[in-house]
Structure 1
Amino acid sequence: MIFKRAKKYPESDHVTVTLPQVRQAVRQFEEEMPHPINRTVLIQEDKSIDLTRLKRYLGGVPRQKFYMSRETYEIFEEADKLVPYYLDLVQSAVDNYISDTGKLPLIEDAWLPEVHYRLLSAESYLKETPPFPLYITDEEMMLTHRPEHFKS
């Protein structure tokens, strides 16, 4: 088996960046790639973004790590690195549940469209329960972890 060795960059190549800068760099990367290549090629197994591929957009290799959901394309800082993992896990379960039943797996009488984890687990769609609530949006039934998404 051949292992790919991580390329080391000199300290002078490292930069400190913000979340908005990384979001912009990811958009630029995707715009410049030929179709059908999209931003998901940047996502590594642990959901972290391969920031070395964004070096030219960011002016160097970021010191921080950032993470992206393969399902929603949302980008997160290190402190929120579990969010994309659970977004992808639950989005897949929700999509499969809707496909099989034609219904949304929501908690009844909740003031927001919160995903019903126990229902998905009981029906064997979900293997692991997130430690925070996720909500189903009107935008193509995509999930969000932000309740403020629903404020008018």
Structure 2
Amino acid sequence: MWKRKKKKTDLGKHPLETKDLSINEIRKAIHAFSDQKPAHVPLSVLIHEDLTLDYDLLAPYLHAQPSRPFYMSRETYELFEESDYELAKEIDIVQRAVDEYMKQQQEAPVIDDDPYKRINYYKLKRLDLLHERPEREYYLTKEEFMITYKKPK
């Protein structure tokens, strides 16, 4: 006859303590989130438009708010510290250009006969996929045609 009001609890609404977390601690939290998330949810839900991370989603794994920002590439899911923010933006631009080039040409935009598989910026610019030539070299990895800025051995 009379309905009882359910008590509303503020679980998870407490402000998190700010800590100086390392990039490895952030990386571990991202891996834990990835292992726990439903299969249909992409990892990109963690990444805001400005490439910062959604620390609310990582809170159950970090138990703190980082005192400095970290950034994650939306294309390669690589994690970067604040000093490498421009690299995070650039790697996304080049990866999107490489993906589009491969969709259009059905081949990788690498320098011919290059043992390191360096990305050929001329090929990307010729199709108007890249507007500025990056200062650093990028290389095509063996994993799903992803790029990296680290020179292969």
| TM-score normalised by length of structure 1 | 0.82
Verify: 1:141 aligned to 2:145, yes or no. Answer: yes
Q: What's the C-alpha RMSD, in Å, of the aligned pairs?
A: 2.1
1:69 aligns with 2:73: yes
Q: Amino acid of the residue matched to residue 79 of structure 2?
A: I
Paired amino acid for 2:42 = N
Distance 2:88 2:102 in 1: 21
* In 2: Cα distance, 1:33 partner to 1:48 partner: 19
Equivalent in the alignment of 2:117: 113
Per the alignment, in what secondary structure is the counterpart of residue 81 of structure 1? helix
Pairing 1:1-150 to 2, within 5 Å after superposition: 9=15, 13-147=17-151, 150=152
Q: Which runs of 5+ in 2 are unaligned?
A: 1-14
* C-alpha separation in 2, matches of 1:34 and 1:138: 27
Question: Which residue does 1:5 correspond to in 2?
Answer: none
Per-residue CA deviations over 1:21-78 (Å, capped at 9, x if unaligned) read 1111011112222231132101111111122321221121000111111111111111
Alpha-carbon separation, structure 1, partners of 2:132 and 2:48? 21
User: What CA distance in whole angstroms lies between the structure 2 residues aligned with 1:57 and 1:113?
Assistant: 37
Conserved 8 A contact 1:15-1:59:
no
Which of structures 1 and 2 has the bigger CA Rg?
A: 2
Report the alpha carbon displacement of residue 90 of structure 1 after superposing the two structures with TM. Answer: 1.1
Instruction: Give deviations 1:102-137, integer Å, cap 9, x for gaps.
Output: 222122354521111122112211123323111101
SS in 1 for 2:125: helix
Equivalent-residue separation in structure 1 for 2:146 and 2:101 (angstroms) = 13
User: Where in structure 1 are there 5+ consecutive unaligned residues?
Assistant: 1-8
SS across alignment from 2:83:
helix
How far apart in 2 are the matches of 1:23 and 1:99? 31
- SS of the equivalent of 2:39 reads coil
Aligned-partner residue type, residue 83 of structure 2: A
Task: Please list every run of at least 4 consecutive aligned residues from structure 1 whose deviation after the TM superposition is greater than 6 angstroms.
Answer: none
- Alpha-carbon distance between aligned partners in 2 of 1:21 and 1:98, rounded to the nearest angstrom: 35
